[in-house]
Amino acid sequence: MLIPAMSVQSHHRLYFRHRRDAGRQLAGRLLAEYDGRDDVLVLGLARGGVPVAFEVARALGLPLDVLIIRKLGVPGHRELAMGAIASGGVRVLNEQVLRYIPDADAVVEEVAAVEQCEMARREMEYREGRAPLDVRGKTVIVVDDGLATGASMRAAVLALRQRGVARVVVAVPVGSPESCHRLAAAADEVICLCAPLDFAAVGEVYDDFSQTTDDEVRALLGAANSSAS
């Protein structure tokens, strides 16, 4: 039986100036194996994963696209994920959170309906008429700015499996040890630069963790597309 590879550079806390700095450091870990390969592309999870992915794709000379996953936040506590959705009808639920929510099924359906509309809006806005990259038969490096519960990344991996990828590599600057290990069962490879044993939040390792805007995502995707043309 093949066992998915997982690489955690350090259990100690690394620090990044901002997401693009984290992307440059992450690229250094990926360079030897993936530099310039014509069977590999990079996908950034919108929104915060796109600046990280932009630097990875640029350093490795690989195509960049966006993957839109919407977290299903608990009403009144939106940062707490009860699951996530992705295009293609993919839905991942966090049972550990749902057991504490009264009438959880109805709450999930209500939040998912709202997030589905937002996912469609972002798909149109970010792409500016460009078709999604064809991932079939490719090795896809999926990048985010970090893993907390890992729900969004698990939804991303499932969505990519549905689209016929050959191999899924999850690459993040930081994550909780539990989430990194859990994703190793879903992805073909997990690369996490640091997984602090006292992990509390992704933003702890960033000097600047201000929210990535729609404009920034659109600009980075446009720049990557222009350089690839």
CA trace torsion 48, 200, 18, 229 (10° rounding): -30
β partners of residue 172: 192
Distance, CA of 22 to CA of 53 (rounded, Å): 9
User: Which residue shows structure tokens 């997030």?
Assistant: 115
Q: What angle do CA 184, 105, 183 make, to 5 degrees?
A: 5
Instruction: Give the tokens for residue 45.
Output: 């999870």
The residue among 111, 140, 127 whose CA lies nearest residue 46 is 127
Give me the CATH topology for the region 5-68+126-228: Rossmann fold (3.40.50)
The pLDDT assigned to 7 comes to 63
Listed as ranges, residues in the chain with pLDDT below 70 are 1-13, 228-229
The pLDDT assigned to 3 comes to 37
Distance, CA of 184 to CA of 196 (rounded, Å): 17
